[in-house]
A and B are shown apart, each in its own frame.
Chain A
């Protein structure tokens, strides 16, 4: 049986036009809804983030308020003094301890006429002493005894002179 095409080519074209017209309308509406929707979501995120920031800032203020009390001031003041002492004791030399060190290494026949201690900028103590000793041999022994001092350095005999049957010597050294 022979098939007959009842639709004309003009009708088919008009139908295609009508489909594309509704689709474009739908796409347009969808596009509009989507852009409005995205704007709404971003707006919501922005507002909710702002709220979170404000809430967190309030929490921070509350913590800071807890930090600034009289009790914390007392602890701050106390810790400050502890740090001050810590800084100071790191470079502190004991005057009596240095005299003790010298005593330990002084020969019984050595007699001091003068001893001076001065703390230098590096925290080391500069010792200057005038000693009276019977002879140069004992003086050399005395210098050797001081050189045995663990923390002594730069032991120097500045000068020595024979006077009234004894030797007067000026020496300097540093104690750490």
Chain B
């Protein structure tokens, strides 16, 4: 009889030991795992959502016409392609009837318009590189202006920096009359062109972890192509419209 009564405190102590030594740590572990599961599920849901946007982006890219793709790839090519660009300059010189004095490709530097974060031992995404081009031409003002227009309208993206147009000093001899005086101007045009290597090692899943702007956009809104239209509009020439309300309006600024 006395043994039966003694059994109660023993089991009570045993139960408490089980609670303290086994159930409590197991419960803490379970809670931690539950939290981890909730985070993992959330990550999975976000990735699934992102994957849907990425699939749409892949479809959009697949269905995009080759001209639009080439248009963008020519605007910022993978390589510097300076020989091609100089060939383009020469073509513009010919079509604008100006004389090319010199062409200089001054420097190459990285444009830090998109900050890249790189983890240790991870790759760094290629940067947008800038080449400063300085071109000097001689010709009649309207032809020089046409040449500048051609550069502005080039498919290869150019960023204007500086233009200096000045009239060439007239060293006419005493025998020459005014009718033979040339109307030539000299122009120095400075602008930048860009290039960027392809991300051959880009891993979107890793870039997603370091909050890459491009990946974030692809995983949230898909492919954003509005800029193709915007850029096309920019390089479309506008017609000359003189001001009709006043007597102003002169095409050749350097003409008498």
B200 touches A73 (CB 8 A): yes
Q: Is B105 an interface residue (CB 8 A)?
A: no
> Residue B106 at the A interface, CB < 8 A?
no
Q: Assess whether B182 is interfacial by the CB under 8 Å rule.
A: no
Indicate if B63 sits at the interface (CB-CB under 8 A).
Answer: no
Q: When chains A and B are docked, how far (Å) is the Cα of A42 from the Cα of B194?
A: 62
Q: Which residues of B contact A52 (CB under 8 A)?
A: 37
Interface residues in chain A, defined as those with a beta carbon under 8 Å from any beta carbon in chain B: 17-18, 20-22, 24-25, 27-29, 31-32, 34-36, 38-39, 42-43, 45-46, 49-50, 52-53, 56-57, 59-60, 63-64, 66-68, 71-89, 92-97, 99-100, 102-108, 110-119, 145, 148
16 contacts between A and B (CB under 8 A): A21-B5, A32-B14, A34-B15, A79-B224, A80-B114, A80-B214, A84-B114, A89-B227, A89-B231, A92-B159, A94-B160, A96-B149, A107-B248, A115-B165, A116-B164, A117-B164
B33, chain A: closest CB distance, angstroms:
4
* A contact residues around B113 at 8 Å (CB): 84, 87-88
Q: Does residue B51 face the partner (Cβ distance < 8 Å to A)?
A: yes
Size of interface on B: residues with Cβ below 8 Å to A: 99
Contact with A along B154-170 (1 / 0, CB 8 A): 00010111111111000
B100 lies within 8 A of chain A by Cβ: no
Q: Are A63 and B47 in contact, CB atoms less than 8 angstroms apart? A: yes
Q: Are A73 and B202 in contact (CB under 8 A)?
A: yes
Structural contact, A78 and B152, CB atoms closer than 8 A: no
B227 touches A82 (CB 8 A): yes
Q: Are B37 and A53 in contact (CB under 8 A)?
A: yes
Complex Cα gap A75–B199 (Å): 11
Asked whether, in the complex, the Cβ of A92 is within 8 Å of the Cβ of B72, the reply is no
Residues of B within 8 A of A94 (CB): 152, 160, 234
Q: Check B7 against A79 for contact (C-beta < 8 Å).
A: no
- B254 interface residue per 8 A CB criterion: yes
Q: With the chains together, A140 CA to B204 CA distance in Å? A: 61
For the complex of A and B, the 5 pairs showing the least CB-CB separation, nearest first, are A28-B11, A64-B205, A21-B4, A24-B8, A96-B149
- Contact residues in A for B101 (Cβ distance below 8 Å): none
A81-B199 contact, Cβ under 8 Å, with A20-B5, A88-B194? no
Chain A residue at minimal CB-CB distance from B62: A71
Closest residue of A by beta carbon distance from B47: A63
Q: Which residues between 7 and 51 of chain B lie within 8 Å of chain A, taking CB atoms?
A: 7-8, 10-12, 14-15, 18-19, 22-23, 26-27, 29-30, 33-34, 36-37, 40-41, 43-44, 47-48, 50-51
Give the contacts of B89-113 with A (CB-CB under 8 A).
Answer: 113
Contacts of A56 in B (CB 8 A): 37, 40-41, 44
Please, how many angstroms separate the alpha-carbon atoms of A100 and B225 in the complex?
30
B234: which of A21, A25, A64, A89 is its contact (CB, 8 Å)? A89
Expressed in whole angstroms, the Cα–Cα distance for A107 and B241 within the complex equals 14
Closest A residue to B246 using CB positions = A145
Q: Contact: A72 with B58, CB < 8 Å?
A: yes
B137 adjacent to chain A (CB < 8 Å)? no
Q: Chain B residues near A46: list those with CB within 8 A.
A: 26, 29-30, 33
A85 adjacent to B18 (CB under 8 Å): no
Residue of B57, B58, B247 touching A108 (CB-CB under 8 A): B247
Residues of A contacting B184 in the complex (Cβ-Cβ under 8 angstroms): none
Write out the residue numbers on chain A whose beta carbons fall within 8 Å of the beta carbon of B202. Answer: 73, 76-77
A contact residues around B75 at 8 Å (CB)? 81, 85
Binds A, one of B79-87, B173-181, B215-223: B215-223
Say whether B69 faces chain A, with CB atoms less than 8 Å apart. Answer: yes
Q: How far is the CB of A53 from chain B (nearest CB, A)?
A: 5
Known: A56-B40, A83-B214, A99-B253. 17 other contacts (CB 8 A): A25-B4, A42-B26, A43-B26, A46-B29, A56-B44, A63-B44, A63-B47, A81-B73, A88-B157, A95-B148, A95-B163, A104-B241, A104-B243, A111-B256, A116-B163, A117-B160, A148-B243
